[in-house]
Structure 1
Amino acid sequence: MNAKHLSYCLLLLISAGFLTQCYLKPEFDTRPKIKFESIRSIQLTENGLTRDSIIIAIEFQDGDGDLGLSATDTNPPFQELNADGTPNEFFFNYFVRMFRRQNGQYVEFIFPDP
């Protein structure tokens, strides 16, 4: 490699170093912010079967990266099991109750055990 190529490579490396130092890390509040973005329904067809699906998009910011509860948040109402030994729906922080519309009424859909 001749001196001209070496000086170009050196200049490129120095420029890249300066450019990477220009990035400012954003500072977000440690309290999570969640914002609804969109909702849309789609139909998926696979092997001749058509299924309806819904896609819900949210935007969130969380300054410390622990969206939701911390591992130490195990006191009521966030304990793993309820007093009667049943699983607590709030233990994992996020839960979804599914409903299907049947004959104009919304009926809760319980997923079968795998």
Structure 2
Amino acid sequence: MKLKNHTIITLLLLSVWVGCISPPEDFPTVPQIDFNNLEFVQTSGSDSLIVTLDFRDAEGDLGLNATDIFPPFNELTYITDDAGQFITYSERPDDAPDFNNRDWVIFPLINNQEIKDTLWVSENEDYYNILVKFFIKRGGNYTEFNWSDPPYFTTFNGRFPRMLEEEQQRAIEGEIRYSMLSLGWNSVFRNDTLKLEIKVKDRALNESNVVTTPDFTLSQIER
């Protein structure tokens, strides 16, 4: 299957199960996660790479809703020049990247006003609360497969929704099942041996430990 327009990647919402709302009082302030499972599901459309994590957190401040878009959870930072003006594609400096759908935004809405131009942006990592890195194993060595590089200009970092709607702190534990959709898993990785590194963040921007999946090929974890 060929990649088309370098925009084959989309993200699926996470499903979250809160298994216990009154666990022991010694739960960690910094989220703690453990690897649980990894599956590859092929369909007639986009295929899913699904990772399941176990989590524990003392405050229960895990998750971001669609309305959590203001700093520090804003998606993009608009790059400005020394005078504080937005940098447009037509007047880009020599060190600006060529046009791609990650570094440039066309006609963005800023403070409820549409800017009728193409602006240079950078991605805010704090917009995401689950971060995923891919590694390919060749000759016994691992090399990171960076989705943000050409020709993909994308990411498999994502968001999962709030575990608890109320702001009252409460210790929680359970599972996060995170599905990543793509039309191109097989065409990109074929029979490569892979592993993932994953971490999550709470709303205080505390980062969990990093969990690493076992080595796998897509065929080995196909469901």
Question: What TM-score, normalized to structure 2?
Answer: 0.26
More helix by share: 1
Task: State the structure with bigger RCO (CA 8 A, min sep 6), 1 or 2.
Answer: 2
Largest Rg, 1 or 2: 1
